[in-house]
Structure 1
């Protein structure tokens, strides 16, 4: 398991989870064991995600992931991974509670059946709703973003897609690799090529092509900064 430093310790994290779920939704006695048994798997996924980040609050120079449950963005990512682990292990009621806890505390909708990539990053994501799209690795989003369906069809997002504040991607849309969707942009049932900045609203989008390096140099991920 990758090294992860939990600033309140794993016992403190267990106590925090137990109390938060109990206070908000009731935690049955029989749910405590599966909740805690799946904690290591969720922490491992959290560590992998954090260690890919170039943000000093997420990873140390000694290749240790830093996890502060009182950092809203970090706790959001962890709770998503925990709810997804519970879902994958058929603990559906408990997955509901952890998902709802994330929604209650952090004010965004990351449903546990959504398959977010191994590595993603969020920046003040209040008000965002991510639907059942296909998400490529190194996905990033900000506040009030929406990814959703249109007539039951959902988008496909490539690697290093970045949604800035208020961006929307819905329906039969395919975004290539290295795509930045600018603040307030609205994409519906359209394809966006690699290495593109998107402005405006469908069907009248403005697409600006840039070299790959443009998208990598501002990436929040180590792998892109080192490229």
Structure 2
């Protein structure tokens, strides 16, 4: 799959540069080369991510589509851009991270290692903390992943956090799990192939067959074999 986008890399560079200048000071003399190179890398990471997504806005006629004015897609790109820049320029990475917060009201710090393949849907008010994430992770608005006494959660592949859900502390979410809207999970182990409701310590865990959960996630994702 090839990625279709309306802006050239030069145009995208100018867009990001202008957005940065509207909020901060952008030093062309020292930061232009770093930003341009990082944009190229972030675009490749974005293409890889979107290639697995079955959402109608992410592909067309067998090609990946990146619409810079689709806020969810641009959020993912800016995260990859800040994450790419962190080793080269922490100051520039800080500003891209801040720009993402200002534009999209989502907190995806560049030191957080989100996976190669993840999805967000209307993520306003969401904060993703320093957990261990796996591919095919998705989240919606007002979700929180955070620590309890310095310990962060771990997620296996194919986990969906629905709106308002929270995963905190020494929690392990197994593969093929859905965390229902407004669910609060703290210091718990959620087995694979489950749908979770309620609040810790009184969670309701509904087990499903692997086939049922595979069917659910197959509607959202292309697998590595496809």
Cα distance in 1, alignment partners of residues 54 and 208 from structure 2: 22
Distance across 2 between alignment mates of 1:225 and 1:185: 32
Matched, 1:195 2:199: no
**Per-residue deviation, residues 144-177 of structure 1 (Å, max 9, x unmatched):** 0000000000000110010000000000000100
Q: CA separation in 2, counterparts of 1:97 and 1:115?
A: 18
1:144 matched to 2:142: yes
Report the aligned-residue RMSD: 1.5
TM-score relative to the length of structure 2: 0.95
With normalisation by structure 1, the TM-score equals 0.95
2:109 to 106, 111, 118: 111
Q: CA deviation at 1:225?
A: 11
Q: Residue 58 of structure 1 aligns with which residue?
A: 58
* 1:49 alignment partner in structure 2: 49
For residue 184 of structure 1, report the CA deviation from its aligned partner: 0.3
- Structure 1, unaligned runs of 5 or more: none
Alignment of 1:69-108 (within 5 A): 69-87=68-86, 89-108=87-106
What SS does the corresponding residue of 2:74 show, helix, strand or coil? helix
Q: Please state if 1:171 is matched with 2:169.
A: yes
Task: Please tell me whether the aligned partners of residues 53 and 222 of structure 2 are also in contact (alpha carbons under 8 angstroms).
Answer: yes
Q: How many residues align?
A: 223
Task: Give how far 1:224 is off.
Answer: 8.7
Quickly say closer, same or farther: Cα 1:45–1:85, change in 2 above 3 A.
Answer: same
Residues 1:50 and 1:36: Cα distance change in structure 2 (over 3 Å): same
- 1:14 alignment partner in structure 2: 13
Partner SS, residue 15 of structure 1:
helix
Partner of 2:32: 32
Contact 1:122 1:141 in 2 (8 A): yes
Q: Which moved more, 1:139-148 or 1:9-18?
A: 9-18
- Cα shift readout 1:179-210 (whole Å, capped 9, x = no counterpart): 10000000000000000100000000000000
